[in-house]
Amino acid sequence: MSRSMILSNGELAVALDSVGQVRDIYYPHVGQEDHVRGHYLHRVGVWVEGVMSWISDPDWSVVVTCENNALASSIIARNNNLQIELLFTDIIYNEQPVFVRRVRVTNGADRIREIKLYFGQQFEIYKAHGGDTAFFDPESHSIVHYKDKRAFLMSGNLDGEQFQDYATGRAGYNNQEGTHRDCDDGMLSQNAIEHGPADSVIGFYGQYAVGQSRVCHYWLLAAHSIHEARALDHSVRQKTASHIVLSTREYWRAWIKTYTTDLSKLSSVQSQLYTKSLMYVRAHLDGQGGIIASLDSDMLQWGYDTYAYVWPRDAAYAATMLDIVGDTSAAKRFFKFCARVISADGYFLHKFWADGSFGSSWHPWIKDGHPQLPIQEDETAIVVVALYNHFQQSRDLEFLEAMFDVLVKKPAEFMIHYRDGRTHLPFPSYDLWERKRGTSTYTSASVYGALVAASEMAKILGKSDLEVQYLTVAHEIRAAILEHLWDEEKGVFINMITHTGEKMEYDRTVDISSVYGLMKFEVLDVHDDRMIRAWNTSIKILTKNILAGGVARFENDEYFRIDSTAPGNPWVLTTLWYAEYIIRSAENIADMKKATDIFDWVVLHAQPSGVLSEQLNPYTGEQVGATPLAWTHAAYVLTVQAYLECMLHLKK
């Protein structure tokens, strides 16, 4: 089940599913230590007139949306059989690790009724059972779950009155379904403590007149100890949960107002998705600077792993988006993160946890008996390019000077020496899709772009020898790309070169990243004959039989493939790359129509909350893969920015 809403303040992050249930709680890093892990639930339900119903039950109609100008949910849950309506506003406090759910409960019946609202909690603290404890804390009138240096406290009130009922128990132990079953009769056991696979429920009971609405505020806060949790709970009660909701809304509205450009040339739905994409990318930013690829823990990749890591590539595109819209301080944190995790030899490994430790990987350090670097070289290159963009947006010369040796000089030296003396192209590394090892067009183009960017930064700092050296090698690589990677007969750029002894083998799979990389890193002008042919050929092949619209990554893409009729599933990202090409090559406003059509296509395939996925079913358009994907949202914003910039200069 994908995620329909992501909330975060850089320390605490919460992901909600399609019916508004909490499915992930990350603390104290975004993307790291998921204490719910997707397969557990934080339920919400009501008991009325002898019937217990959870909002995940089929008789509920639930729509999860996001407010247009705040990182706050707007969820409508209706049960016509029970004549109950729940309206949620969910936020994470921008100042402290506090998650607040404001729920307006409405009695739609023609009679006075007692309605009981229940919140159930299930944790797997530190992503593992064993040693967990849940207990009712009379000092704070709350339920606390804790283990080691992690404590989670849940409490709340209904129109100012504290919850009246509670229970702790176990879930998934000795055939026990969980303490939420204790709600079936409308009364909880008030079992005060449990350990092991512990869970809990709290209940808010109240009388409701005909048509009456009452407001419940539920909060969940995270801390490093029970003592710290109690202190934070005291702070929440002093400020009041209603104030925290309003304050957080105002924070995000101010943030959006600061970083949103003139969107008048967009339709209302396009501009709303732009704003939400800004917030979703920002929500994937950890307090220590890492930008997580996706917080969808149900998106189990190879080896039953998730996307909750910092890929330098994805993160660099996201940081570029933050810089382009003006949030240079957030992007700056990312480059500081990069400076901490880059190797001493000037390259980035595959991916990282938010705390900077090396993440899981399937790239081997040895193959066929020969040691190899388990890297995707484009990840190193794109960070250098992104840093140059950061300087262009921030004009922070002091920061550039501080980062130069570690994020410019060392990577540039690595890229200069990590080349094949026969072709002058980069040595083999894994491609940006993490599948094949060789010398790809995209990676070669990214290295060219990085060395040009490094040359410009050396020039800014008066390092003339380095400026000339970097630019000279960049030109060598460009010439090598055009000599070795252009396929005149097929009219595309070759996907990848590999070597078997002295023999050079060509992988001629049509891959959209090849022509995109040449455009992105300005190896060739978009009006060059080869670029025009390559784009036309690639789009023709990679859109064939995709009834839902969009562009596949490459021929015969097996990742989540539905069947063999289409070349692969369409990706939102690659479709936006095509929109970027249309924008760059446009000569008048009429040429932009195809780009705005793609924007409408992206809006059409977003969730009601604005959440965008990695890829789509080629026939139904249903979301597939990691949802949300931060890179997708960043690409939408960057492409819209390119469109708005281009519109300023085009003639009718």
Statement to judge: residues 552 and 606 lie in one domain: yes
What's the pLDDT at 325? 96
Give residue 348's pLDDT. Answer: 98
State yes or no: pLDDT of 267 exceeds 50.
yes
pLDDT in tens, 317-376: 999 999 999 999 999 999 999 999 999 999 999 999 999 999 999 999 999 899 999 999
- Give yes or no for a contact between 5 and 84, defined as CB atoms under 8 angstroms apart: no
Q: Is the pLDDT assigned to residue 652 strictly greater than 90?
A: no
Same domain (yes/no): 113, 161: yes
Cα of 108 vs its chain's centroid, Å: 38
Over range 240-260, report the average pLDDT.
96
Kindly state whether residue 300 falls inside one of the protein's structural domains: no
**Is residue 220 domain-shared with residue 272, that is, in the same domain?**
no
Does a structural domain hold residue 73?
yes
Say yes or no: 76 and 123 in one domain. yes
Last residue in a domain, options 525, 552, 586 = 525
Residue 294 has pLDDT above 80, yes or no: yes
Q: Is 610 left (phi over 0), alpha (psi -120 to 50) or beta?
A: left
Q: What average pLDDT does the structure give for the chain? A: 95
Average pLDDT over residues 442-469: 98
Residue 289, domain member (yes or no): no
pTM value > 0.95: yes
Whether residues 77 and 211 share a domain: the answer is: yes
How far is 322 from 336, CA to CA, in rounded Å?
A: 15
Question: What's the pLDDT at 564?
Answer: 87
Q: What does the alpha-carbon distance between residue 330 and residue 322 come to, in Å, rounded to a whole number?
A: 7
DSSP character string of 463-500 = -HHHHHHHHHHHHHHHHHHHHHSEETTTTEE-SEEEEE
Question: CA 30 to CA 461: how far, in whole Å?
Answer: 35
Shared domain check, 258 and 217:
no
In angstroms, the CA 433 to CA 80 distance is 47
Please report the pLDDT score of residue 521 as a whole number. Answer: 98
Query: Domain span at residue 450?
Result: 327-525
Task: Report the CATH number that the domain containing residue 102 is assigned in CATH.
Answer: 2.70.98.10
Q: How is 554-620 classified by DSSP, letter by letter?
A: BTT--TT---SSSSSPEEHHHHHHHHHHHHHH--BGGGGHHHHHHHHHHHHTS-TT----SEE-TTT
Angle between helices 268-283 and 593-604 (to 10 degrees): 60
User: Based on the structure, what is the number of domains in the chain?
Assistant: 3
Token pair listed for 609 = 């909350």
CB neighbour burial string for 100-121, b if at least 16 within 10 angstroms, e if fewer? bbbbebbbbbeeebebbbbbbb
Print the SS3 string covering 423-460.
Answer: CCCECCEECCCCCCEEEEHHHHHHHHHHHHHHHHHHHH
Range 138-157 average pLDDT? 97
Q: Please name the residues in contact with 268: beta carbons below 8 A apart, sequence gap of 6 or more.
A: none
Interatomic CA distance for residues 228 and 221, integer angstroms: 10
Residues 137 and 64 in one domain: yes
Q: Is residue 249 part of a domain?
A: no
| Same-domain pairing of 441 and 491 | yes
Tabulate helix, strand, coil % of the chain (nearest 5). 35, 25, 40
Of 241, 270, 293, the residue at which a domain comes to its end is 241
**pLDDT > 50? residue 2:** yes
The SS3 assignment for 25 reads: strand
Q: What's the whole-number mean pLDDT along residues 612-639?
A: 96
Q: Are residues 347 and 469 in the same domain?
A: yes
Statement to judge: residues 512 and 591 lie in one domain: no
Give the pLDDT confidence score for residue 300 in this predicted structure.
60
Is the pLDDT assigned to residue 130 strictly greater than 80? no
For the stretch 580-605, pLDDT in tens is 999 999 999 999 999 999 999 999 99
Per-residue pLDDT at 531 exceeds 60? yes
Q: List, as one string, the DSSP characters of 127-155.
A: GS-SS-EEEEETTTTEEEEEETTEEEEEE
For residue range 107-119, list pLDDT tens digits in order. 999 999 999 999 9
Q: Is the pLDDT of residue 503 over 90?
A: no
Instruction: Give domain status of residue 36, yes or no.
Output: yes
pLDDT score at 38: 67
Say what the pLDDT of residue 62 is. Answer: 98
CATH classification at residue 332: 1.50.10.10
CB atoms near residue 202 (< 10 Å): 24
147 shares a domain with 267: no
Domain boundary among 181, 208, 241: 241
42-73 per-residue burial string, b: 16 or more CB within 10 A, e: under 16: bbbbbbbeeebbbbbeeebebbbbbbbbbbbb
Q: Quickly state the pLDDT bin for 1 (edges 50, 70, 90).
A: low
Exposure class string for 355-379: b at 16+ Cβ within 10 A, else e: bbeebebebeeeeeeeebbbbbbbb
- Let me know whether 335 and 227 are in one domain: no
160 pLDDT above the threshold of 60:
yes
pLDDT of 304 > 80? The answer is no
Sequence-separated (6 or more) residues with CB below 8 Å from residue 608: 4, 63, 64, 65
User: Do the domain assignments include residue 117?
Assistant: yes
Q: Kindly state whether residue 248 falls inside one of the protein's structural domains.
A: no
d(Cα 95, Cα 235) in Å, to the nearest integer?
A: 12
Q: Indicate the SS3 state at residue 195.
A: strand
pLDDT score recorded for residue 301: 45
Query: Within a domain: residue 203?
Result: yes
Query: What is the rounded average pLDDT of the residues 270-291?
Result: 98
Please report, rounded to a whole number, the percentage of residues in the chain having pLDDT higher than 90: 92
For residue 259, what pLDDT is reported? Answer: 87
